[in-house]
């Protein structure tokens, strides 16, 4: 498939002395494409994270529950989550000491939400090269099979850019990988509120409709090393990137300063299709 000159290959992590992840977890990320679950926030902190999201959701005043897409440059609470040291400690073991956060997105499946997220690879959507982004999926609510937790197809991150077709039906995204049933058994990314998972941007994943009476919300935070760069001028201008740790020697990313307050108004936002969970 046409990749517009992007490097959509998985590069194994070479880190013989990780500081937070174990060598076995690094090997699992390289071999399977993900690490989960990882404990992060204490119960009281998880409750605070949920209360913050609930407040932002109320500010949307009836808008789509998935509308909080790339607001890290407009909402101080999201910005602070991007700089959470415990998150960055995990990310550093994957991408190295120089860390860019270029996107965030609350993916919120309300009770009895009929929309699915078809099997897809995140990097297929993103005009970035090379594909070295790791996604942190922070559970705001408990996520399990009952309320449509994200699912991975292990080892698909090593198969290159997979063929896809336009998805049908009530869906959140429009790409659906062809022949996914022949690629292995899914792994359900079951997380308790406050836990996280890490997955590679070439790993096939998706989620079912939420047929339960329980909400399922998670915040994705997209991190990459600074050698990753946008190849689309609109994206280059529209991304509110944060240099979270270290430096950006090549200067591909313009650092966004911390906002004051929380602004969820859509005005001024450039639409970006950032992949889904």
The structure tokens 């607001």 sit at 71
Whether the CB-CB separation of 113 and 170 falls below 8 Å is answered with no
Please state which of the four CATH numbers 2.60.120.620, 2.40.40.20, 2.30.29.30, 3.40.50.2300 is assigned to the domain occupying 23-245: 2.60.120.620
Question: How many CA atoms lie less than 13 Å away from 142 in the CB half-sphere?
Answer: 8
pLDDT at residue number 271: 45
Angle between helices 23-32 and 85-95 (to 10 degrees): 60
CA distance 109 to 209: 8
Which residue is it, tokens 């529950």? 65
Residues facing 177 on adjacent strands: 164
| CA dist., res. 118 & res. 171, Å (int) | 7
Alpha helices in the chain (DSSP H): 23-32, 43-59, 76-82, 85-95, 122-125, 233-238
Backbone angles phi, psi at 251, to 5 degrees: 75, 25
Other CB atoms within 10 Å distance of the CB of residue 244: 20
Q: How far apart are CA 145 and CA 108, in angstroms?
A: 15
Per-residue tokens: 262 = 């929380």
**pLDDT of amino acid 230:** 92
**Mean pLDDT in each 10-residue stretch from start to end of the chain (277 residues)?**
81 96 98 98 98 94 81 97 98 98 95 94 95 98 97 97 91 89 96 98 96 97 96 84 96 95 75 52
CA dihedral 122, 55, 51, 117 (to 10 degrees): -20
């Amino acid at each position: 498939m046409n990749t517009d000159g992007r490097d959509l290959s998985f590069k194994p992590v070479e880190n013989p002395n990780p500081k937070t992840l174990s060598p076995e977890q690094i090997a699992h990320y390289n071999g399977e494409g993900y690490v989960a679950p990882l404990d992060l926030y204490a119960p009281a902190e998880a409750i605070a994270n949920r209360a913050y999201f609930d407040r932002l959701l109320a500010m949307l005043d009836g808008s789509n529950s998935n509308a909080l897409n790339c607001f890290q440059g407009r909402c101080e609470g999201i910005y602070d989550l991007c700089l959470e040291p415990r998150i960055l400690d995990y990310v550093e073991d994957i991408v190295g000491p120089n860390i860019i956060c270029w996107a965030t997105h609350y993916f919120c499946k309300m009770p009895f939400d009929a929309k699915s997220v078809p099997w897809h690879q995140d990097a297929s959507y993103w005009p970035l090269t090379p594909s070295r982004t790791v996604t942190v999926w922070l559970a705001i609510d408990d996520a399990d099979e009952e309320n449509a937790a994200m699912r991975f197809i292990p080892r698909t991150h090593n198969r290159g850019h997979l063929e896809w077709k336009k998805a049908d039906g009530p869906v959140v995204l429009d790409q659906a990988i062809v022949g996914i049933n022949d690629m292995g058994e899914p792994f359900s990314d079951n997380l308790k509120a406050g836990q996280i998972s890490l997955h590679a941007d070439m790993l096939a994943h998706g989620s079912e409709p939420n047929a339960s009476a329980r909400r399922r919300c998670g915040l994705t935070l997209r991190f990459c090393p600074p050698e990753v760069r946008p190849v689309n001028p609109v994206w280059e201008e529209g991304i509110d990137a944060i240099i979270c740790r270290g430096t950006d020697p090549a200067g591909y990313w313009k650092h966004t300063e911390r906002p004051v307050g929380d602004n969820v108004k859509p005005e001024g936002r450039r639409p970006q299709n950032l992949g889904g969970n």
